[in-house]
Structure 1
Amino acid sequence: MAALAGKRIGLLTARASRTNGGVFEAVVRQVDLLKTLDAQPVVVAAEDDSHAADAWRLAGAEIRLAQIHGPKHPGFAPRLTPVLLDAGLDLVHLHGIWSYASRAATRWSKATNGPLVISPLGMCDAWMIERNRWKKNLARLAWEKSAWSNAMAFHALTPAEAGDIGRECGAQLIGVIPSCASPPSQPRQTMPPPMVLYLGTIHEKKNLVALMEGWLAALPDLPPDASLVVAGWGDEEGVTALERFLEPMGPSIEFVSAAFASQKAALLELARFLVLPSSSEGLPISILDGWSAGIPAAISPACNLPEGYANGAALKCGPDRESIKTALIEALRIEEPEWLSMSRAAQALASGTFGKEHIAGQWRRIYEDCLGVLSPAQLERQISGKIPQ
């Protein structure tokens, strides 16, 4: 780890707040990992209204912001490049694509000849590519192709995403490293009450309407005290629309807005199952944190966590109402001995495959390889073990 001691690693992203959804969660985790590796994380982003409320989650990182001019998407912030250049960075790690941050990353790389690593974080998924494709085509021509050609390496969360990145970005050097889970809590001794928890952003790809419709359809076959809690955050318009939709749904569904730190821990303590019927994901941190807390999950294949099915920590749940209904009924019919077995399997994954120490070691090797004086051929040999065949 000494090789990274004192190195200034720039974590560049569109916005350093909850408005950046799962990308912000990835940045929060990367700050923590970099501190573990004795490096200095420097978060660089365009400023937005939610940053002040969320800055505490980046404790230990330097934070440098640039003002947005015009609409929040794609986040035109012309001062991003000077901010990057003034930060004295040894490496820039871009989190997320399709925003103006990609152009700033390219300019920094060209000006300094410094290494650029790109984590698309699920944004090359076919579902995401089709959404507002014309905007992505403009971004591709305006700045993304240049950023991709200047990147020393790409990071994929899963082998499936590595294929997406290769297809969309033409990338060759792709290291596959999953997100890391929180440290596991004490093993569960009893099964919680029949509360199912959704924890994440309010976004159409999460299929929240189908989730709530599936819940209501399943309700006659669920325990009488069963409840669904939706703990989510997003733009004001999306949250308002969700609240209106929830009004006639009845008392078995509750919306509790954003949940972090102690509020999140309290919800995880009470939940029997997590549910995430997404159409598109990178690798959902909310499920990993649920596994750390010993909570099994009902998740769609788009969550890219087949380990959950294979190891008995998750049930398969499609993105449509009927599939969600079936999964919810199955989840809440599980008896305590089987549930406790699933809980132990979930924590084993959180401490093993997705454990912090294991993931930090993988990132140490990637960063050290990129910071070394290596030719492209040497770098390819160094990280070839992480390139899916």
Structure 2
Amino acid sequence: MNGQIPSIAGKRIVLLTASASRLGGGVAEAVIAHARMVRGLGAEPVVLALDDEHGEEDRPRYGDVPLRLVGVQGPRRFGYSRSFRRNLDALDPDLVHLHGIWMYPSKAALDWRRRTGKPLVISPHGMLAPWITARGRLQKAVARALYERSGWSEASVMHALTGAEAKDIASESGRTDSAVIPNAAPVMPRGADLRPPMALYLGRIHPKKNLGALLDGWDMADKPDSARLVIAGWGAPEDVAQLERRVASSPCAEFVGPVHGQAKEALVGEARFMVLPSLSEGLPMAILEAWAAGTPVLMSEECNLPEGFTARAAIDCGTDASSIAAVLTKALNIPTATWRKMSQTATGLAQGPFAPETVAQEWAALYARLMENA
């Protein structure tokens, strides 16, 4: 989309989500970036989320964007909060944008839509992918019956990060009119032009990230003597404990825990490759962060960023240990000139189709149209 960006100045847009902290994984990262983008467009973003043990600790990451955290009554996995309605009514938003599904915020968003008739945007963030819908079937069946199907049907628009996600949305909801807008690449300092043979995983510690296969592949790969694998992230205590046990038996691999801000920028800029052999993704922010820093990527097709393969800023590593090992062997021994070309291409993607201004223009047009037609 070209031309002048439609104005949404002064409009109050509430971003509703289950977790605004590190526990929200990539969804929380996307919400932080989206809130800043909305602010940059002159609108008034407010993030409304369920509180958790890291909510206050991670509040500074939202900067000058208001963050309202509400308490949970009952099981966390459902996320009921009687405060959602009161907050939404007090905020009186012009539009609500729900990030993530399967929990009570979906019901709160649907109820608000029915009360006010104002626009509701739903971004599933990959949560309708088959790998996700196959897990926790009973809980998801109840959620579908009680509120999700109605929400998907009555939303002003369903948002897909990729064409693949649009197909998942159509399969689950019957809606074939999803707005496809990618996450924007963040502004990151470009990394060094010469980098050690270090592979970096950055993100949530979760079974879908396939870190066991990554470590098995790392052990099998034919690597330079100085090669190392760094895993940075956060997750449920049981998943982190399992990872720590596995890393302890893998030479030249280390788990460094969560990293943010300048520490994250430095780590991404030091890596020769980001590696993400996921079994299921929406559109992973870690890859966009890597490209913004000029870091090529080793990723599975399930990361839903075929642009990386086409442009040769990424290599398909598959999801099984043997294919991951083969690609690690190739990547960590790649000639410097070839790596530099991949790095330049990665930066080009971050500054082109995934550039913040490009994505912001698409969101401004969609939001403006929905609010004009409300």
Partner residue in 2 for 1:379: none
Separation of aligned partners in 1, 2:29 and 2:201: 16
Separation of aligned partners in 2, 1:97 and 1:186: 34
CA drift of 1:236 comes to 1.8
Contact 1:273–1:295 (CA<8 Å) still a contact in 2?
yes
Q: Secondary structure at the match of 1:315?
A: strand
Partner residue in 2 for 1:116: 120
Q: Secondary structure at the match of 1:232?
A: strand
CA drift of 1:318 comes to 0.7
Partner residue in 2 for 1:215: 218
Partner residue in 2 for 1:272: 272
Contact 1:152–1:173 (CA<8 Å) still a contact in 2?
no
Q: Alpha carbon RMSD of aligned pairs, Å?
A: 1.2
CA drift of 1:108 comes to 0.8
Partner residue in 1 for 2:361: 361
Partner residue in 2 for 1:382: none
- The 1:348–1:187 alpha-carbon spacing in structure 2 relative to 1, beyond 3 Å, is farther
Partner residue in 1 for 2:282: 282
Separation of aligned partners in 2, 1:373 and 1:292: 36
Q: Secondary structure at the match of 1:15?
A: coil
Separation of aligned partners in 1, 2:44 and 2:233: 31
Letter of the 1:239 partner, please give it.
Answer: V
Q: Does residue 198 of the first structure (1) align with residue 201 of the second (2)?
A: yes
Q: Deviations over 1:46-105 (max 9, x none)?
A: 111111111111112111222101221021112212211111211000001101000000
1:291-330 map, 5 Å:
291-330=291-330
More displaced 10-residue stretch of structure 1: 68-77 or 307-316: 68-77
List gaps (5 residues or longer) in structure 1: 375-389
Partner residue in 2 for 1:253: 253
Q: Does residue 224 of the first structure (1) align with residue 225 of the second (2)?
A: yes
Q: Does residue 38 of the first structure (1) align with residue 39 of the second (2)?
A: no
CA drift of 1:248 comes to 2.3
Q: Secondary structure at the match of 2:257?
A: coil
Q: Deviations over 1:19-50 (max 9, x none)?
A: 11111011011111101211111101111111
CA drift of 1:286 comes to 0.3
Letter of the 1:110 partner, please give it.
Answer: R
- The 1:230–1:186 alpha-carbon spacing in structure 2 relative to 1, beyond 3 Å, is closer
List gaps (5 residues or longer) in structure 2: none
Letter of the 2:232 partner, please give it.
Answer: A
Under a length normalisation based on structure 2, what TM-score does the superposition of the two structures give?
0.96
Separation of aligned partners in 1, 2:107 and 2:141: 15
Separation of aligned partners in 1, 2:255 and 2:50: 29
Letter of the 2:295 partner, please give it.
Answer: I
Partner residue in 2 for 1:234: 235
Q: Does residue 84 of the first structure (1) align with residue 93 of the second (2)?
A: no
Q: Deviations over 1:264-312 (max 9, x none)?
A: 0110121100000001000011011101100001000000111111101
Separation of aligned partners in 2, 1:50 and 1:215: 32
Partner residue in 2 for 1:59: 63
CA drift of 1:6 comes to 1.1
Partner residue in 2 for 1:72: 76
Letter of the 1:249 partner, please give it.
Answer: S
Separation of aligned partners in 2, 1:77 and 1:330: 50
What is the aligned-residue identity percentage?
A: 45
Letter of the 2:194 partner, please give it.
Answer: M
Q: Secondary structure at the match of 2:140?
A: helix
CA drift of 1:112 comes to 1.2
Q: Secondary structure at the match of 2:18?
A: strand
Contact 1:232–1:256 (CA<8 Å) still a contact in 2?
yes
Separation of aligned partners in 2, 1:224 and 1:290: 24
Partner residue in 1 for 2:165: 161
Separation of aligned partners in 1, 2:38 and 2:353: 19
Report how many residues are paired.
370
Q: Does residue 20 of the first structure (1) align with residue 24 of the second (2)?
A: yes
Q: Runs of at least 4 residues of structure 1 off by over 6 A?
A: none
Separation of aligned partners in 2, 1:245 and 1:72: 28
Under a length normalisation based on structure 1, what TM-score does the superposition of the two structures give?
0.93
Letter of the 1:162 partner, please give it.
Answer: A
Contact 1:183–1:351 (CA<8 Å) still a contact in 2?
no
Separation of aligned partners in 2, 1:72 and 1:318: 34
Separation of aligned partners in 1, 2:169 and 2:85: 25
Separation of aligned partners in 2, 1:86 and 1:187: 45
Letter of the 2:344 partner, please give it.
Answer: R
Letter of the 1:272 partner, please give it.
Answer: R
**Among 122, 135, 153, which residue is 1:149 paired with?**
153
Letter of the 2:263 partner, please give it.
Answer: Q
Letter of the 2:79 partner, please give it.
Answer: G
